[in-house]
């Protein structure tokens, strides 16, 4: 079991981090009362936990939870479960500014003074910060940088967390795919539609594929496109992109785009990063 406690200063990014953890397959529970912590230990001890990745989001709203949290993590460790504590921090003036921008009072600001509440919260959380396994300071961190850090810490190296790549062939006469991240036009290649014996076939058929791939400029285009995509794909993944859609279009979506999509998919797909293929308009008139 993987168990993460997400805590830290109010306004430092717990809500956003929770979304990132959910994307990584963690079952996240926000603001769990500390009195329920022992129940998690009991369920695990009785083998009643069907989920394997948990994240509990806890903060000062839970009251004096620090000691309870220590007891819980110690108990889980005795059962062989390593509980990691992620502490999100941020400069006081930035926290006050974020509460102001969001038009929210700090959970401890009963008198409306957010700055005093932040100072008090920092005092209450100081011990927990010292015991944290990971500390992320979001003072000058963008949302994309934060996502990258969370992935580096908690994304398992397995297929479920790899970036998904989907190549889509389409016809411009039917409109461009709205979900496309990258789009390439292959209408510069000769059109098999105007070859009588090829018109009724598609780019999935050997005769059409050979015609398109053997035409002037096709191989050079494919090589340049392959080089470009092999340069871009790992960089998109490093930035935390989860799905990349590459669209390749011709006039009707039957011949050129299908043949080129098939070939670029063959060149890009690896066991580490399989590429899915969709011929969107191949069945349209």
State the CATH number of the domain containing residue 14: 3.40.50.300
Question: Residue 173: inside a domain, yes or no?
Answer: yes
Average pLDDT rounded to a whole number, residues 115-128: 89
DSSP one-letter code for 70: H
Give per-residue pLDDT as tens, 158-207. 545 578 999 999 999 999 999 999 999 999 999 999 999 999 999 999 99
**Average model confidence (pLDDT) across the chain:** 88
Residue 41 has pLDDT above 90, yes or no: no
- Specify the residue for token string 């717990």: 14
Q: Among 98, 16, 89, 14, which residue's Cα sits nearest to residue 56?
A: 14
Last residue of a domain, one of 111, 141, 159: 159
Domain that holds residue 168: 162-279
Mean pLDDT of 228-256: 93
Return the SS3 of 232.
helix
Q: Please, which pLDDT band fits residue 53 given cuts at 50, 70 and 90?
A: confident
For the whole model, what pTM was predicted? 0.63
Domain finish residue from 159, 177, 192:
159
Question: Residue 81: what pLDDT?
Answer: 79
Q: Are residues 178 and 56 in the same domain?
A: no
In a domain, 51, yes or no: yes
Q: CB-based contacts of 33: which residues, under 8 Å, 6+ apart?
A: 62
Per-residue pLDDT at 46:
67
Cα gap 233→151, rounded to integer Å: 17
Domain assignment of residue 284, yes or no: no
- Window from 41-55, 104-118, 190-204 with minimum mean pLDDT: 41-55
The answer to whether residues 231 and 115 belong to one domain is: no
């Amino acid at each position: 079991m993987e168990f993460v406690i997400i805590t830290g200063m109010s306004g430092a990014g717990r809500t956003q981090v929770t979304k990132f953890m959910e994307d990584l397959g963690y079952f996240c529970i926000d603001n769990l009362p500390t009195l329920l912590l022992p129940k998690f230990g009991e369920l695990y001890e009785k083998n009643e936990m069907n989920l394997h990745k948990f994240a509990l989001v806890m903060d000062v709203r839970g009251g004096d939870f620090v000691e309870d949290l220590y007891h819980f993590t110690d108990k889980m460790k005795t059962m062989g479960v390593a509980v990691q504590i992620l502490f999100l921090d941020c400069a006081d003036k930035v926290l006050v500014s974020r509460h102001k921008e969001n038009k929210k009072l700090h959970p401890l600001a009963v008198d409306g003074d957010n700055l005093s509440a932040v100072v008090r919260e920092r005092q209450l959380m100081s011990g927990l910060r010292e015991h944290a396994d990971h500390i992320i300071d979001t003072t000058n961190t963008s949302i994309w940088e934060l996502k990258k850090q969370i992935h580096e810490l908690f994304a398992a190296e397995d297929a479920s967390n790899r970036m998904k790549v989907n190549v889509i062939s389409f016809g411009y006469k039917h409109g461009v795919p709205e979900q496309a991240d990258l789009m390439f036009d292959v209408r510069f290649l000769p059109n098999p539609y105007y070859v009588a014996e090829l018109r009724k076939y598609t780019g999935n058929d050997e005769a059409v594929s050979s015609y398109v791939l053997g035409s002037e400029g096709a191989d050079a285009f494919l090589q340049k496109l392959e080089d470009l995509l092999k340069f871009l794909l790992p960089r998109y993944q490093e930035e935390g992109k989860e799905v990349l859609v590459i669209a390749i279009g011709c006039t009707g979506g039957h011949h050129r785009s299908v043949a080129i999509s098939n070939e670029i998919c063959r060149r890009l797909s690896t066991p580490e990063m399989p590429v899915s293929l969709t011929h969107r308009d191949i069945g349209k008139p």
